Amino acid sequence: MMANGWKTPKQIQEDYNLADKTWATWRKQCEASPYADAIVRVSTRSTFIIEPLWQKFLIWQSKNFEEKHLDPHLRDLKVLKEN
């Protein structure tokens, strides 16, 4: 592990058990999200991931996925439970 919670893309792939294709998709989604700062590109060959921000991106992505894919009836029940 690198200092300050920074990792290489390969370390993130290994730690989160991500296939190359999944990593590429999630990386692009992260770069287009409010958590784009999680990915630090120093050059075309040097990229680092700030893991605490990456984890926040994953939580954000999970909430978005749930909102898009949860049955509307279940979504309404969830809102009622939260209130």
Residue 24: inside a domain: yes
Give the total number of structural domains in the chain.
1
Domain assignment present for residue 1? The answer is: no
pLDDT of 5 reads 86
Residue 54 lies in a domain: yes
- Is the CB of residue 73 less than 8 Å from the CB of residue 49? no
CA atoms within 13 A on the CB side of 63: 6
Backbone angles phi, psi at 71, to 5 degrees: -50, 135
Amino acid 32 reads A
Q: pTM of the prediction? A: 0.75
Residue 60 domain boundaries: 6-80
pLDDT by position in tens, the chain (length 83): 556 889 999 999 999 999 999 999 999 999 999 999 999 999 989 999 999 999 999 999 988 877 676 666 665 555 556 65
Structure tokens at 61: 């992505």
Flag whether 17 is in a domain: yes
Establish if 25 belongs to a structural domain.
yes
